[in-house]
A and B are shown apart, each in its own frame.
Chain A
Amino acid sequence: MTDERKKILEMLSEGKITADEADRLLSVISKDSGSGSGNVGNKEPKYLRIMVEPGPKSKSPDKVNIRIPLKLIRAGLKLAALIPKSAQTQVNDALHEKGIEMDFSQIKPEDLENIVKQLDDLTVDVEGKESVRIFCE
């Protein structure tokens, strides 16, 4: 067992990190060690994981853990591209009202493919009342 693995497991036993965090750290370590010896670290992610857990200040006990296949996101985005222009305008207007400047009519199928490809490297950690984590695995 390497020192890094030992340290992670110690942190887990001391309750400094959660089991999920330990799992992620261990997978990062195995990826790093794998990249030096072969293609283990280059494994293409298949799923998008969204985790919402109550933060330390949260009173709500709600927890959400969703694993979405990236293939499903690809198919869904292609379906979204078929939305009629009139509906796209309504979506754009609704987003504009929320302060999001985005024009869906400008998004082409090849752009959607690029978006999904870039999701592979996505990691979002938001700490507030709730802890939100989005990553690919």
Chain B
Amino acid sequence: MIPMILKLCVRDKDGKRFFIWLPLFLVWIIILPLLLVPIPFVALAALIMWPSGKGPIILYGYFTIFKMIGCLSGLEINIGSGDSAFFIVLK
């Protein structure tokens, strides 16, 4: 499942807080065409590189990127140092 919501929170030493709640499904609508447009070019590059053995790597690598985006849901990074903190969650 691709992440649909991004929560980002940054707190600096002075206690100032920056919080962002981003509905990623809206971002995906914009990004998805940008990811789909290169597919014919990637396929062409893979075909050209096929004799050298790099074709399957290009194809597999490109689609693994999609898979990795799909697996990002549930990622949580929380880093704190004294009063400052950084927190990011993908849901």
A-to-B contact residues, CB < 8 Å: 46-47, 60-69, 71-72, 74-76, 78-79, 82, 84
Nearest residue (CB) in A for B64 is A79
B-to-A contact residues, CB < 8 Å: 57, 60-61, 64-65, 67-68, 70-82
Interchain CA distance A66-B76 in the complex, whole Å: 6
Nearest residue (CB) in A for B61 is A82
Nearest residue (CB) in A for B66 is A75
A-B pair number, CB within 8 angstroms: 56
Q: Do the beta carbons of A61 and B77 come within 8 Å of each other?
A: no
Inside 8 A of A79's CB, which chain B residues have their CB? 61, 64-65, 68
- Among B65, B73, B77, B82, contact of A69 (Cβ-Cβ < 8 Å): B73
Taking the closest CB of chain B, its distance from the CB of A103, in whole angstroms, is: 19
Q: Do the beta carbons of A62 and B81 come within 8 Å of each other?
A: yes
Interchain CA distance A68-B75 in the complex, whole Å: 5
Known contacts A75-B64, A82-B64: A69-B72 contact under CB 8 Å: yes
Nearest residue (CB) in A for B83 is A61
22 contacts between A and B (CB under 8 A): A62-B81, A63-B79, A64-B79, A64-B80, A65-B76, A65-B77, A66-B76, A67-B74, A68-B75, A69-B71, A69-B72, A69-B74, A69-B75, A72-B71, A74-B71, A75-B64, A75-B70, A75-B71, A76-B68, A78-B64, A79-B65, A82-B61
